Amino acid sequence: MVVHFEAALAEVMRHAVLLRKRRPAPLAETVSLLESAGRVLAQPILADRDQPPFNRSTRDGFAVRAADLAAGIELKIVGQVRAGEIWTGADLALGETMEIMTGAPIPEGADAVVMVEHISVADDRVTLATGRRLRPGENIVPRGSEARRGEAVVAAGSLISAAEIAEAATCGNVALSVRARPMVAIVATGDELVGIDRAPDPRQIRNSNSYALAAMVAAAGGQPGQLKTARDTREDVRDRVAQGRMWDLLLFSGGVSMGKYDLVEEVLAEFNAEFLFTGVTMQPGKPLVFGRLPKLDDADGAGPECYFFGLPGNPISTQVTFHCFVEPFLRVLCGEDVTGPRFVQATLGEDLPGNPVLMRVLPARLTHDLRTPSVTLVPWHGSGDLAANARANCYAVLPPERPEFRAGDVISVLLR
């Protein structure tokens, strides 16, 4: 059954959510703070104190009573407070001001900070510049306004990046509880494949797909396992299915097209696989297979079912379909709240022909311009052109049913 891209993605995401609900919560492990980058948080990060822990100045300037400046009173400088210091003198009184630095605690009695650019200083006296006004609370972050002690500042299920690590660090966490990585079995198929450490003869190619998939699985939060290459025999493919169905997810690369030796679907059928779809109206990547194997009986009864993807064997097809379907599926299994691939919008930098039937997903380069990001195709020679794919940094997405695309059109871009 060949389906449109949107229908295929909806089916993949529906089953990802169902699988996560049916399975027990993934085990957690504790890792050091820096080792947590790229993992999914198992327990929320809690504020160990109010954030900020005091009324904090957001500007270099002078702590004042706003009413004094509004009344036009000339203020006397009575001290200075820097970040890391606390003023221990008397509360700020009528007609007094205190020099203050960004990040410093607000002295008692002050209710605003006037920026140094907005005042005039003569000797030890301060006046507000002509035409300037100051409101109570201006340039002050109140104590606890960012977070209260004990409050969850990063929710469980969050993907941990630099922002989450910074928050964890400010809360005093030297380690974090993260969810275990789903185990993903990777099977490359084909008699033509040899190891990357071997010199291939003219009829052979090195097994690049297995390594690309392992890298993408790891980047998406999974734990990759490269199984032995499946040769073009039923016995070999059958052995890999039997081995791979014990994992959380099974990925095949190749063996899912219409050729005489494309045996993956036939062997999966021998294992009573349920095929949810067997093709997607996209190029490259049309011969994509998605389904599940029935639960495997174990000593404790029926074990969990194993979902599988049969990805096309051409390298760019493999990577495009992974980013479109496998990556969001895997991220949901990791516990992330995602709904699909990572798309952004950009302006097309050239005229391109359309396709009446297939959505085209083509290697391209995205320019990261502040105002008008644009995308241009990378010259390539089909979905086996790994050199072109390496020159690209994204994929331009050209929807079907349009005869042509013009430079300046806004299109979707698939990030990788």
Give the pLDDT of residue 74: 93
pLDDT digits (tens, 9 = 90+) for 314-349: 999 999 999 999 999 999 999 898 999 999 999 999
Beta strand residue intervals within 237-356, DSSP E? 249-253, 274-277, 279-280, 282-283, 289-293, 297-298, 301-302, 306-311, 343-348, 352-353
Euclidean distance between CA atoms 313 and 321, whole angstroms? 11
Which residues fall within 8 angstroms of residue 312, CB to CB, at 6 or more apart?
Answer: 253, 254, 256, 257, 284, 285, 286, 287, 288, 318, 321, 383
- Residue ranges of the alpha helices (H) in 38-136? 66-70
Asked if the bond preceding 44 is cis, omega within 30° of 0, the reply is: no
What pLDDT digit, counting tens, does each position of 32-59 carry?
A: 999 999 999 999 999 999 999 999 999 9
Name the one residue in this structure whose structure tokens are 């009986």.
297
For the chain, percent of residues with pLDDT exceeding 90: 86
Q: What is the pLDDT of residues 351-391, one digit of tens each?
A: 999 999 999 999 999 998 888 899 999 999 999 999 999 99
Q: What percent of the chain has pLDDT over 70?
A: 96
pLDDT score at 367: 95
H-assigned helices in 248-309: 264-270
Structural domains of the chain, with CATH: 2-11+180-334 (3.40.980.10), 56-141 (2.170.190.11), 343-415 (2.40.340.10)
Mean pLDDT within 262-291: 95
| Separation in Å, CA 184 to CA 70, 164, 221, 233, 251 | 66, 26, 10, 23, 7
Global confidence as pTM: 0.89
Q: Nearest Cα to 57, choosing from 85, 79, 76, 77?
A: 85
**Per-residue confidence (pLDDT) for residue 264, from 0 to 100:** 95
Convert the pLDDT of each residue in 58-88 to its tens digit: 999 999 999 999 898 999 999 999 999 999 9
For the record, the structure tokens of 75 come out as 């203020």
Asked if the model's pLDDT at residue 411 lies above 50, the reply is: yes
Average pLDDT score, the chain = 93
φ, ψ at 164 (rounded to 5°): -70, -35
User: d(Cα 103, Cα 54) in Å, to the nearest integer?
Assistant: 10
pLDDT by residue (tens digit) across 384-400? 999 999 999 999 999 99
DSSP state of 278: S
Quick: pLDDT tens for 156-173: 999 999 999 999 999 999
